[in-house]
Amino acid sequence: MLQPLQRRILVAWAIALLGTCVGATGFQQAVLWYQHPFAGVLITPQGIVSSIGLPTWSGIAQGLRFPDRPLSIDGIDLTASRGAQGARLWDRAVDEAAKRGDPSVAVHVSTASGERDIDLRVDPIDSASWWLYGGVMIFTGGLWLLAAVIAAGTSSGGLARTFAKAATLAALYLFTFFDAHSTRTMVPLAYAAYAYVPFAVMALALRIPDDVPIVARHPWVLRIFDVCGLALAALTLVRDWIGASAVVVLTVCTTLLGGSLIVFVLVLGVRFMRATGARRDTMRVLFRAMATPFVVVGLGVLVARLSSRDATAAFFAIPAMALAPIATGVAFARHDLWGSRAILSRVLTRTVAGGIAGVLAVGVGAAFAASIGFPFRSALVGASLGALISAPLIYFTTRAVERVFFPAASEYKPTIEQLSEELTSITDPNEVALAVERTVRRWLPCERVGFVRAAEGAPLAPRSARSLATAEEQDELSIPASFGGRTLGWLSVGRKRGGALFTSDDVDLLGTIANQAGLALAHAHSYAELERRRQQQAAAWQTERLALVETVAAEIAHEVRYPINFFRSVFRRDAANMTLDAEEIDIGCEEVDRLERLVAGLRRMVGHRIDRRIMSVADLAARAEMLLRDALGGRELEVHVPADAALRCDTDQVTQVLVNLVANAIDASGPRGRVGVSWGVDEEGAELVVWDDGAGFETDPSHLFSAWFTTKPRGTGLGLAITQRIVRAHGWGIDAVRVEGRTRFVVTIPTSDVVSSEAPAELDSKTMPLTPRAEEHEDSHR
């Protein structure tokens, strides 16, 4: 069982194969008839004067028209033969007269006004007639065939099937039209298509661009058109055997063809007037392209039944028939006419358009060569070979020109994709400028590339966008990087190396890069603003939490009054030489333990006065390492601090900060992890960093400094809160980040508290106590 896609592809290939075979045969037979002798009129396969012809033809000039019938030619009786045999006798008689060099043939004709004898001049068919009825018809048939293949291959909807059917029949008729009046090799196919086309056109009118209500409710209505078309096609094929009148059959087919074209335009016009929205846009494209050629050809076909002389001008509208398949192609690409949701291929579209242009070039070249005296076949072969040779040559030449002179065209997609990927991960405006400059340098060889961004809140001075600068900046191209109506920066490039000219593709690509830079800068500014507000929110949140901690401490202090009152009473009793019983002693011991726990927490929450002195940072780190010697378990604390680094601080409290942070890092890194202390100085001050290579934290960094927040089963959650309180009491800042596999607690120290190496004599030499306090170590953990 074939899948829908396989079925569509199979049908498309079948249509393409059938149409190509018929079209190639029709073109081959038409070439054989170029400048072939004919006797002033064309004769249908039924031996009747055709309704097509030009006023310059001798038969048309003498008043012959459809359905006049030749009875004899140069004494040869044509009435003894039926149908196609009579037409072939006519062709042979004309050929023999041309071989003998006779200037004309004597013809006895039956007309509406009676029988008459006339002389018809024997001339080679002129180029204009051959191109009009042969070349243009076959070319237009090729366009209809292409439209049929596209419709059948891209969609399986009802409209696509109906259009593919009508387009295929139209292509077959156009391919065989000239052959039916000349070499007569495909007459049955020509008349079958001729009979079926009107019904296919009327069915299409009811479905384009969507089904009319009656068809939507009763789809079987369309089958009536198929049945009628097949019946009339069968009648044209068996007419000779059943004795039906050729004139009647041809008149019916001609009337139906002309009428169907008129009906199609009327129905399309009514539906266009009633359409709205996107449907009206689709209808407008179809109506504008199809209405004029269909009306002109339809009227021409109907008028041709009355007078060949009056109808000849109408057939000059035949080239306009090519607009219909082109219009459907445009509607398909711009409005998805058949509802296929297909992806339009740029390469395939260019190939199809190039192929059509190539065929036109071959025709024009062959016509021109034939008009100046070259044999037609030689001219056609030469033009075809020229087109085949020039097509790849033009392709490779244009590609080479693009690579040499327009490298931006080939670099556009990879450059933009690479820059987009790079900019999505950048949050620093300075990095945006560097990324843009690197991208431009990769594909544009120029003397200078620069990206100047506006300081936040300070717009740049206006400059000429997408234009060469003034004489002071010779050959410079400056393009604004804008977003939201604001110019956030300027991308400027110096002149190309060697003085090469900038191209329109260069400007387009630079403009796209500048637009992306503007978007990235806006994103970076927004990110910075969000980060600033996040820090403000975190600081406010911390303030609230610290206020809560102080409240709790006050409540604890309040609770201490009760055991104090108990011990005061006990001491007074002891002063009166009264003895304590066992219960009072037990209660006193319990109160002492509780006081010790309360005071341990209270001591960490109550603020202390900051006593600043100058202290070596290396000594502070060494003292912290000594206090935590047992916790390190034989590991060394990796200290990267210059020997002359010093700061102004409360020595006891900063030592406690280091002890808390290092103890926290030891616990987080595990028994074999690395822990270290580093020091860095910049223009704004210094950073004291305590780091570890443990697994890190998953929560928001601001939560780590919250009182009572802990990730340890037995931790109190006060260590980092106390650390932050001490740091902020100094006027410093502290934050936690995760960078390159390390957790870093960064204490930011302003310049006012950083002591330069020029005053080492001021360093405090006071000996600090090294006795570790175990109860503080446990509380310093996260």
pLDDT of residue 135: 87
Kindly tell me if the per-residue pLDDT of 243 is higher than 50.
yes
Kindly tell me if the per-residue pLDDT of 388 is higher than 70.
yes
Quick one: CA torsion of 191, 195, 198, 203, rounded to 10 degrees? -120
Q: How far are the Cα atoms of 153, 279, 337, 344, 655 from residue 334, in angstroms, in the given order?
A: 17, 12, 8, 10, 74
Structural tokens at position 324: 């219909």
Name the band, by pLDDT with cuts 50, 70 and 90, for residue 741. confident
Instruction: Give the torsion sign (CA, 328, 329, 330, 332).
Output: positive
Kindly tell me if the per-residue pLDDT of 637 is higher than 50.
yes
Q: What percent of the chain has pLDDT over 70?
A: 74
21: closest CA among 201, 141, 194?
141
Structural tokens at position 475: 């050959």
Least confident of 110-114, 131-135, 767-771: 767-771
Structural tokens at position 628: 């935590």
Which positions ≥6 away from 567 have C-beta within 8 Å?
Answer: 588, 591
Name the band, by pLDDT with cuts 50, 70 and 90, for residue 765. very low
Kindly tell me if the per-residue pLDDT of 359 is higher than 60.
yes
458: closest CA among 436, 437, 494, 429?
429
Q: What is the DSSP string of 221-277?
A: HHHHHHHHHHHHHHHHHHHHHHT--HHHHHHHHHHHHHHHHHHHHHHHHHHHHH--H
pLDDT in tens, 327-351: 777 766 666 776 676 666 666 777 7
CA distance 527 to 533: 10
Three-state DSSP class for 747?
strand
Kindly tell me if the per-residue pLDDT of 51 is higher than 70.
yes
Residues 299, 247, 123, CA angle at the centre, nearest 5°?
Answer: 75
In terms of pLDDT, which residue wins out, 394 or 276? Answer: 276
CA distance 724 to 657: 8
Identity of the amino acid at 122: V
Peptide bond into 67 cis (omega under 30): yes
Residues 128, 134, 135, CA angle at the centre, nearest 5°?
Answer: 80
Instruction: Judge contact between 584 and 567, C-beta under 8 A.
Output: no
767 DSSP assignment: P
Least confident of 173-187, 382-396, 610-624, 755-769: 755-769
pLDDT of residue 781: 37
Mean pLDDT of 155-168: 88
Identity of the amino acid at 323: L
Kindly tell me if the per-residue pLDDT of 224 is higher than 90.
yes
Instruction: Judge contact between 489 and 510, C-beta under 8 A.
Output: no
106: closest CA among 81, 75, 85?
75
pLDDT of residue 67: 83
Kindly tell me if the per-residue pLDDT of 106 is higher than 70.
yes
340 DSSP assignment: -
Instruction: Judge contact between 395 and 355, C-beta under 8 A.
Output: no
Supply the mean pLDDT for the chain: 78
CA distance 334 to 283: 12
Instruction: Judge contact between 144 and 325, C-beta under 8 A.
Output: yes
pLDDT in tens, 442-458: 777 888 888 887 765 44
List residues bridging with 613 in a β-sheet.
Answer: 649
Q: How far are the Cα atoms of 39, 283, 603, 774 from residue 590, in angstroms, in the given order?
A: 136, 95, 20, 21
Name the band, by pLDDT with cuts 50, 70 and 90, for residue 775. very low
Name the band, by pLDDT with cuts 50, 70 and 90, for residue 682. confident
Kindly tell me if the per-residue pLDDT of 513 is higher than 80.
yes
Structural tokens at position 37: 């002798």
pLDDT of residue 548: 67
Side-chain-side CA neighbours of residue 269 (13 Å): 10
293: closest CA among 250, 254, 325, 334?
325
Tokens 């378990």 locate to 633
Kindly tell me if the per-residue pLDDT of 181 is higher than 70.
yes
Can you say how many angstroms the Cα of residue 515 is from the centroid of all Cα atoms in its chain? 17
Tokens 């419709």 locate to 151
CA distance 143 to 293: 15
Structural tokens at position 412: 């556009």
pLDDT in tens, 685-724: 899 999 888 877 766 666 566 655 555 544 445 667 778 8
Name the band, by pLDDT with cuts 50, 70 and 90, for residue 405. low
pLDDT of residue 346: 64
Peptide bond into 293 cis (omega under 30): no
Residues 30, 34, 38, CA angle at the centre, nearest 5°?
Answer: 100
Instruction: Judge contact between 737 and 718, C-beta under 8 A.
Output: no
State the chain's maximal CA–CA distance in angstroms. Answer: 169
Q: How far are the Cα atoms of 18, 565, 568 from residue 577, in angstroms, in the given order?
A: 129, 19, 15
Identity of the amino acid at 450: G
Three-state DSSP class for 113?
coil
Structural tokens at position 39: 């006797």
Instruction: Give the torsion sign (CA, 388, 390, 391, 397).
Output: positive
Q: How far are the Cα atoms of 253, 356, 724 from residue 172, in angstroms, in the given order?
A: 16, 18, 89
List residues bridging with 108 in a β-sheet.
Answer: 72, 117
CA distance 389 to 352: 17
Mean pLDDT of 25-54: 88
Structural tokens at position 453: 């961004």
Instruction: Judge contact between 552 and 605, C-beta under 8 A.
Output: yes
Phi, psi angles (nearest 5°) of residue 438:
-60, -40
Residue 668, number of CB atoms within 10 A of its CB: 20
pLDDT in tens, 419-442: 777 787 777 888 888 888 888 887
- Look at the pTM and tell me if it is higher than 0.75: no
